[in-house]
Every structure is written in C-alpha cells, then in structure tokens.
Amino acid sequence: MRRTRPQKIKDALTFPLRAFLLFHEDRWGLSSQASERYDYAASAVTGHCLDVGCGSNRFICEALGGRGLGADVYRYAENTGGVILEDPSTFPWREATFDSVTFLANLNHVPASLRDAELGEAWRVLRPGGNIIVTMGLPIVEIVVHQVIWLYDRLFKTKLDHDNERGMAEGEEYYLTGTEIRRLLTKAGFKRIAYRPFWTQWCLNGMYIGWKD
C-alpha cells in the first residue's frame, strides 16, 4: 500500500476527481482517500500498533501487514479480525504494550464525555518513546464530506457512510479543530505534538503526532 513518489504526484494532481468520486478502493491507477490516509499514518508508526476505531481493520491488515491490532466498539461486517471494545474507557491491555496508537479520522466520533478517558488509556498502553497518531480534515472539509457521502448513499444506494450504519451516539461530532486535538493530547500526557499536512490532499487533511516521553 506504500505509494511511490510518482504515485503521490499523480494522486495530488487528481485529488479533486478522487474526492468527488469517493471510491474507497484504489482504481484507475489512483489511490483511494482511505489508502492515502493509511499510507501517511503508516509512515509515522514506529512498531507494534493499536488502531483504535479500526472499522474494516484495513490499516492493520494491509497498510501495516498485520503489524498490530485493530479495535472498535462496533463490529463492521468486513472486520473479522479486530477486537471489540466493550468499554472504550478501559482498554484490555497492559501498560506499555504498543509502540504506536492510531485514531484515523475518528477521534471526533469518540463521545466527548469519553475522550479524556480513552486518550488516557492510549497513553497508558504505549511504551515510553511511543507515539499517538490522529488524522483529521479541516472543519469545513469534514462537514462537506459527510454531506456528500450522505447524498451518495441516498442517490446510488451505496453504504459509504459508516456513521449511518452504526448510528451517531450522543456526544459525537463531525470534526474536531486542531486546537481541540492538541488540547486533548496534551491533557492526556503527550508531548512534542506536531502537525503534518497531507500534501497530496492539498493540505486539507493531515495528522497530529504526539509522543510519550
């Protein structure tokens, strides 16, 4: 799934087309936005990874070649290998189990009342020197994308919107601002928080990386 530089240039030039067509699998020699996000996140993973909110579990299985574990509160039909978290505020793993923890385009879907506890658990299960990776689009992008996906599902009878599949819980949001993400990560104990934009998505999306010193 790792992209070459020529592939990244091609993806950047065709970003509006890829964004409009909303395909979730690579096609026509172009990367889907999901694969693109996984490629960026995988470049920041340092070892054994816990992917929280794994959905289909593609990130662990494909982008990391099985080098980690996916976890979610909902069992999606295509996810046969991920762990189901009965209580997302208490992870079932010992301290210092993972080298990286990822929240890929989903921290906003953790109910606000649970975010501090869940990020605290992410910090606890990380080894010293490990990192957390949170991807999030710009607020206006997240709002537009959710509306476009909703429209696609209605017009073409697709099932692109996983939020509709499982339902939006109280306290979930369509996006988090960069300021809020930094505040949450800092409160959980993460240091040296940096932001890396996804240039092949015209810097409309990106990832926050924090470290457990």
Residue whose entry in the numeric block shows the structure tokens 């909902």? 74
Q: How many CB atoms lie within 10 A of CB 41?
A: 26
Please provide the average confidence, as pLDDT, over all residues in the chain. 90
Per-residue confidence (pLDDT) for residue 164, from 0 to 100: 52
Which element (helix H / strand E) includes 32? Answer: none
Segment 140-199, tens digit of pLDDT: 888 777 666 666 667 766 665 555 555 566 788 889 999 999 999 999 999 999 999 999
Long-range contacts of 29-35 (CB under 8 A, 24+ apart): 31/3, 31/7, 31/200, 33/201, 34/58, 35/1, 35/3, 35/63
pTM, to two decimals:
0.90
Per-residue confidence (pLDDT) for residue 167, from 0 to 100: 56
83-92, 115-124, 158-167: lowest mean pLDDT where? 158-167
Question: CA 126, CA 142: separation in Å to the nearest integer?
Answer: 29
Per-residue confidence (pLDDT) for residue 67, from 0 to 100: 96
Per-residue confidence (pLDDT) for residue 9, from 0 to 100: 97
Per-residue confidence (pLDDT) for residue 109, from 0 to 100: 92
Are 2 and 39 spatial neighbours (Cβ–Cβ below 8 Å)?
A: yes
Per-residue confidence (pLDDT) for residue 21, from 0 to 100: 79
Segment 25-56, tens digit of pLDDT: 899 999 999 999 999 999 999 999 999 999 88
Higher pLDDT, 147 or 14: 14
Q: Locate the domains of the chain by residue range.
A: 47-211
Is the pLDDT confidence value at 78 over 90? no
Question: CA 161, CA 209: separation in Å to the nearest integer?
Answer: 26
- The strands making up 98-104's β-sheet, listed across from edge to edge, are 83-84, 68-72, 49-52, 98-104, 126-137, 205-211, 191-197
Residue 81's pLDDT band (boundaries 50, 70, 90)?
confident
Superfamily of domain 47-211, CATH level 4: Vaccinia Virus protein VP39 (3.40.50.150)
Per-residue confidence (pLDDT) for residue 110, from 0 to 100: 94
Per-residue confidence (pLDDT) for residue 56, from 0 to 100: 87
**SS3 of residue 50 by DSSP:** strand
Per-residue confidence (pLDDT) for residue 19, from 0 to 100: 84
Is the pLDDT confidence value at 24 over 80? no
